[in-house]
C-alpha cells in the first residue's frame, strides 16, 4: 500500500506479509526511488475536518433536525425558493458527509461536528496555550481593530447566506471570536505600537517608550532648504557623496521631472539613471 501525505514531499510504501506490516519505506514521488526505511511513520489527516463515526452520525441527526425546522420556518414566511434551496443543498451535504466524511463547505457544520452548544465560542489556537502565556500584539493600533472587526464582517456575510437559504443558521457559529472572547483568552499582553490607540492606553498599566530604533541607529537629521538654486545644491551634495564612494537617491514629483533631471546630471558628468513605473523590468 502506498500513501502520499498531503503535508510531505515523499510517498510512503507499506509492505505487508499476510496481515502484518513487514517494511515501511519512503519513496521519491517522481522517480520512485527508495529514500529510506522507517520503523514507524505517523499519518495525519489530509484535512483537519475529521471526527469519529459516532460523532459524525450524531451530527447528521442534528443537522437533519435543524434543516427540517428551518425549512418549515422559511415556508411559513413564504420563502419557498429559499426553503427548496436549503433542503436540496443540505441533503446533498449530508449524503456526502455520510458516505465520505467530508463535503464542500464542511466548516459550516462545525458546531454539529464538534458537538458544541449554539452560540458557544469556536476553538482556536489560543485554547492550546497555558494559562500564563504572554502575548505580544505587534502594531496594536492596527491589529486590535482588525480583531474586533473580524466577527462583524463574518456575521454580516453569513447572515445573508442564511436569509437566502444557502446555509443553516448553525453556520453562524463557524466564526471568529468576539472581541470579548478574544480578551478572555488573554492573561498578560504587551501592546507594541509607535502610535498606540485609545484601547491600548485604556487597558495598559505601564507605558515603556522606545526613543531609538531597534537597530540603535538615530533618525537622520532632516534639513529643509529653499528652492532657489536647488539643482546646484543637489550637484554639490552628490559630489560630496561620490567622493566618499557613496550613492544618492533623489526623488521628484513627476516621472517627467525624473527623466529631465537624469539628463541634466548626465550632462554634468554624474553617472545616474531614472527609475519609475514605466520602466519594464
Q: Confidence class of residue 170 from pLDDT cuts 50, 70 and 90?
A: very high
**137 has which bridge partners?**
191
134-160 tens-digit pLDDT: 999 999 999 999 999 999 999 999 999
pTM for the whole thing? Answer: 0.60
Asked whether residue 210 is assigned to any structural domain, the reply reads no
CB 169 within 8 A of CB 70: yes
End-to-end CA distance of the chain: 49
49 pLDDT above the threshold of 70: no
Distance (Å, whole) CA 108 – CA 145: 25
Q: What is the CATH number of the domain that holds 23?
A: 3.30.2060.10
Q: 26-49 as b/e, with b when 16 or more CB fall inside 10 Å?
A: bbeeeeeeeeeeeeeeeeeeeeeb
Provide the number of structural domains found in the chain: 3
Decide which of 169, 203, 237 is a domain's last residue. 203
Asked whether residue 216 is assigned to any structural domain, the reply reads no
Mean of per-residue pLDDT scores for the chain: 91
Are 175 and 241 contained in the same domain? no
Q: Which of 81-90, 116-125, 164-173 is predicted least confidently?
A: 116-125
Are 102 and 144 contained in the same domain? yes
Q: Confidence class of residue 194 from pLDDT cuts 50, 70 and 90?
A: confident
CB count within 10 Å of CB 158 equals: 19
Asked whether residue 43 is assigned to any structural domain, the reply reads no
Q: Confidence class of residue 268 from pLDDT cuts 50, 70 and 90?
A: very high
Amino acid at each position: 500500500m502506498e500513501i502520499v501525505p498531503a503535508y510531505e514531499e515523499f510517498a510512503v510504501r507499506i509492505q505487508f506479509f499476510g496481515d502484518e506490516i513487514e517494511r515501511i519505506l519512503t519513496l521519491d514521488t517522481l522517480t520512485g526511488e527508495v529514500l529510506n526505511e522507517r520503523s514507524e511513520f505517523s499519518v495525519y489527516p489530509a484535512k483537519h475536518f475529521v471526527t469519529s463515526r459516532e460523532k459524525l452520525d450524531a451530527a447528521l441527526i442534528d443537522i437533519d433536525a435543524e434543516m427540517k425546522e428551518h425549512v418549515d420556518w422559511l415556508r411559513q414566511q413564504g420563502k419557498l425558493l429559499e426553503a427548496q434551496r436549503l433542503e436540496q443543498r443540505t441533503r446533498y451535504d449530508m449524503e456526502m458527509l455520510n458516505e465520505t466524511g467530508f463535503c464542500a463547505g464542511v466548516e459550516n457544520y462545525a458546531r454539529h461536528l464538534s458537538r458544541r452548544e449554539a452560540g458557544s465560542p469556536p476553538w482556536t489556537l489560543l485554547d492550546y496555550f497555558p494559562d500564563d502565556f504572554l502575548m505580544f500584539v505587534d502594531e496594536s493600533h492596527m491589529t486590535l481593530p482588525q480583531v474586533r472587526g473580524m466577527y462583524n464582517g463574518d456575521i454580516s456575510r453569513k447572515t445573508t447566506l442564511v436569509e437566502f437559504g444557502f446555509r443553516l443558521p448553525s453556520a453562524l457559529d463557524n466564526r471568529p471570536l468576539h472581541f470579548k472572547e478574544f480578551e478572555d483568552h488573554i492573561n498578560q499582553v504587551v501592546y507594541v505600537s509607535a502610535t498606540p490607540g485609545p484601547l491600548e492606553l485604556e487597558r495598559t498599566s505601564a507605558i515603556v517608550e522606545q526613543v531609538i530604533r531597534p537597530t540603535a541607529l538615530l533618525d537622520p537629521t532632516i534639513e529643509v532648504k529653499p528652492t532657489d538654486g536647488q539643482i546646484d545644491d543637489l550637484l554639490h551634495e552628490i559630489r560630496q557623496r561620490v567622493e566618499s564612494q557613496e550613492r544618492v537617491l533623489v526623488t521628484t514629483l513627476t516621472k517627467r521631472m525624473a527623466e529631465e533631471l537624469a539628463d541634466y546630471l548626465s550632462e554634468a558628468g554624474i553617472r545616474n539613471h531614472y527609475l519609475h513605473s514605466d520602466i519594464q523590468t
